[in-house]
Amino acid sequence: MKLLQQILREAGADLDKSFTVIPSFGGYFKSVKRVEDYSPERIVLSLNKMRLTVVGEKLIIDKYFQQDLLIRGNISGVSFE
C-alpha cells in the first residue's frame, strides 16, 4: 500500500483526510468497515459512524486492504448519511 499511497500523493491526494477524489482516476477512502451496496454507478460504504455513497460511472473497487479502499472510475459525487 505504500506505493499506492505515494502514487496518490503525487497525483494530489491528501491522505490525511477520510477520503480523496481525483478527477478521471477515482478515489481513496479510509476507515471503511464494509461495502453495503455495489454497482458500476453507485457504491455505498459503511465507515466508523456514517454511511458514504459514491456515485459516478464505471466504478470499480480496485483495492481493499486494512480498511483502505481504492475506487477507480469517474466519480461525480459523494454524499454522507
**CATH code where residue 51 lies:** 2.60.40.2000
* Torsion angle, alpha carbons of 43, 46, 51, 53, to 10: -10
Q: Which domain holds residue 40?
A: 2-80
DSSP letter for 47, please.
-
- The string of pLDDT tens digits covering residues 17-58 is 678 888 889 999 988 999 999 999 999 999 878 899 999 999
Total domain count for the chain? Answer: 1
Is the pLDDT assigned to residue 13 strictly greater than 70? no
- The pTM score is 0.79
DSSP bridge partners of 44: 37, 53
